Structure 1
Amino acid sequence: MALNLKLRAHQAWVMLTVYYAYMNEYRAELLLWMLSGSLPLILMGVWIQAAEQGDFGITSVALARYFLAVFLTRQFTVVWVIYDFEKEVVEGTLSSRLLQPIDPVWHHFMGHLGERVARLPFSFALIPLFFLLYPEAAWIPEGGRLLLFIPLILLTFALRFLIQYTLALLAFWTERATALEQFWYLFYLFLSGMIAPLSLYPPGLAAALMWTPFPYLIYIPASLLVGLPVNWLQAFGVSLLWLGIVWILNRWLWRKGLKQYSGMGA
């Protein structure tokens, strides 16, 4: 048992280092990918101007900190597995992955982790520049909140990855699974807290959203980081609940999808 776990840990480490080295070959693209996720920083300017002209119950400084935290949260949790998986199914390259003694998802998962490690230096380098432009928004997260943020952001990434990978499995039945991701992204955009803090939403809507996975993908981790009120027990509980639900659906679609894939002659 111990030997088996040690072997699996070694395999995971080898895959992670290989994908990290692969991602480092595209450092210029990593910078562009990071900048492509700058929508929260653009929205920050819009909301700061609105806050200075009206009373939203949240200061412009708090808004600046929140949208910086949203930007960082997205850097930790960006996912693209559906595009790679759809290509593998459509082109038939998934067949070679199925011959390997490992679930193909681990290639995608380790690829994401390797990219994340390669991307973070660029993301963190932006923080001093941000504080230089908005010195009044500079802050250091509290130690306790930072300790909670680390496991929560890992859980957020796992949930975000699993949701998109589950949508990706629909590529077994349609050649345009990415269209479903684009449709789902509309809900993700407006209900996750990326456009605006959920505290600015109508109270009834905000309370209902807390039982969906969307706030736990951006709003809750970002709020925890900047010091906004967060029920962290509910955050972990609901995130784990949705992780379990999506995992069950994922495994069911995987079994059904493999039969569909083999039935097409792959």
Structure 2
Amino acid sequence: MEAYFDEEDPPGVVVVSQTCDIVSDPARNPWVVVCPLVKADPARVTEIERGGVPRLALVENAPEGLVAEIARSLTISKDLLASWQRNQGFTDPGKAVEFARSLERCFGRFAFPDDFNRSISPLLKKLKDGYGKEKAEVGRVARSVAELRVRPSAAWDAGNVHVRFLLILKPEDQREAQIAEISSAFEAILSTLSWQGSFQLDEPFLHLGTYDDFLARDYIESVALDINALSFAARYQAAVNPL
């Protein structure tokens, strides 16, 4: 039994199936999903750490210079998997969670309408460019936000859509900016955006708070903005183990 890849065989693979699926009865569920390990130079690894390459992800214990190409998954049999040498991919639970978030990001990103993407591109650029700048206001503000979400007033393809931005803040002791500064900075950026198509700002257009301050409805009726340095970049995340 063999596996065939489009190009040369990769130097290794990482299993991305859930543990419960892996250990389930092969007679009922004989398959697992793996992703190939591919070469990446140091510059590429840095870009991945910053969240700039959603199709690639870091595997903690992979050989140096190898990363997972999660956008190129492969289904294989458990019999084949059992015939390969096993190495533990992660020993740090936090790194394993980061990898899981990379999978979520690659396959779970919401497809915003083109007009909306064009409208908010200046906001995303400012946040991405400023996130790693230690003393810049936009950097301190962005690093104080745990998640940035947007809630539409109607279906995304409706004829008239008002959008409200939800800024979910980190705990107070992890913020680098005060709430007033965060609010002022985002209001200044959002108020200058040129909205295209059917989109425009809601009133009010900004809602700040911690996870405790938002209703469940706010969360499930909104969509996360994929700001790589804000929501997914491992290098800049606080070393908090969520497990």
What TM-score, normalized to structure 1? 0.28
More strand by share: 2
